[in-house]
């Protein structure tokens, strides 16, 4: 899934010369937490968050009046350079950027110009849809040896039983040279396919089942 499918293109922005108070007002009016800062050519030059504004508040021991502070230009507290993404970037790779950099939003640019924005909630929503967790399904996990074709071999059993696979994810097992295959399937009663997998010699883990076929690896 590409970012262009989930990004919001109606982005509220400010210019570097707008005041901190302007940012506060815009955040309150639009119920947003991040504001990209663009120049007269719509090029992204910075970004400001509600945390930036909170951190800019003076200590009660400082003589500077808080009202005077909020009249300062937003450029005085904005973050730059800005971490960005491209609309053709992949949602899953972008999720890794959110995790690694602990960010709450990511501006989308093309030729340095702002074309959209995505938030952490946008990413979570899209990942939920990608995994099929937004619809009635069941999760079945199968422990298999790590070899080329392992996924296809197990998937054939789902086909034989007539159960549709919504998504499949592989992750390392605690057992050397084994992987866990996590299948989300389009059924709320997976007992038939679970039994078929177990009969085929696989260790299987399904809803409310600690293990069928052996010890979990």
Q: What is the pLDDT of residues 85-135, one digit of tens each?
A: 999 999 999 999 999 999 999 999 999 899 999 999 999 999 999 999 999
Q: Provide the CATH number for the domain around residue 66.
A: 3.10.580.10
Indicate the range of 34-43, 131-140, 203-212 predicted with least confidence: 203-212
Domain boundary among 128, 145, 172: 128
Say if residue 101 is in the same domain as residue 31.
Answer: yes
In this prediction, residue 203 carries a pLDDT of 92
Q: Residue 210 domain-assigned? A: no
Task: Look up the domain containing 71 and give its range.
Answer: 3-128
Q: Residue 104 domain-assigned? A: yes
Q: Residue 166 domain-assigned? A: yes
143-189: pLDDT as tens digits? 999 999 999 999 999 999 999 999 999 999 988 999 999 999 999 89
Say whether pLDDT at 11 is over 80: yes
Say if residue 124 is in the same domain as residue 188.
Answer: no
Say if residue 123 is in the same domain as residue 138.
Answer: no
In this prediction, residue 56 carries a pLDDT of 79
- Asked if omega into 81 is within 30° of 0 (cis), the reply is yes
In this prediction, residue 161 carries a pLDDT of 94
pTM for the whole structure: 0.77
Q: Provide the CATH number for the domain around residue 177.
A: 3.30.2130.10
- Spell out the residues 6+ positions from residue 189 whose beta carbon is closer than 8 angstroms to its own: 138
CA dihedral (159, 163, 166, 167) positive or negative = negative
Which of 11, 3, 33 is closest to 125 using CA atoms? 3
Q: Residue 213 domain-assigned? A: no
Domain boundary among 128, 153, 173: 128
């Amino acid at each position: 899934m590409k970012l262009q499918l989930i990004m919001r293109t109606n982005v509220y922005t400010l210019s570097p010369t707008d005041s901190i108070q302007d940012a506060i007002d815009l955040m309150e009016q639009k119920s947003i937490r991040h504001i990209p800062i663009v120049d007269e050519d719509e090029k992204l030059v910075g970004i400001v968050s509600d945390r930036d504004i909170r951190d800019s508040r003076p200590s009660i021991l400082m003589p500077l009046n808080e009202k005077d502070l909020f009249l300062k230009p937003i450029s005085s507290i904005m973050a730059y350079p800005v971490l960005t993404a491209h609309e053709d970037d992949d949602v899953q790779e972008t999720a890794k950027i959110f995790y690694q950099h602990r960010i709450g939003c990511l501006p989308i640019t093309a030729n340095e110009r702002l074309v959209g924005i995505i938030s952490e909630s946008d990413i979570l929503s899209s990942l939920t849809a990608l995994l099929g967790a937004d619809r009635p399904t069941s999760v079945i996990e199968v422990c298999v040896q790590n070899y080329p074709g392992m996924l296809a071999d197990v998937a054939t059993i789902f086909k034989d039983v007539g159960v549709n696979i919504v998504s499949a994810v592989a992750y390392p097992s605690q057992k050397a040279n084994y992987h866990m295959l996590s299948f989300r399937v389009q059924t709320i009663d997976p007992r038939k396919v679970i039994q078929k997998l177990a009969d085929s010699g696989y260790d299987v883990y399904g809803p409310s089942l600690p293990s069928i076929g052996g010890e979990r690896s």
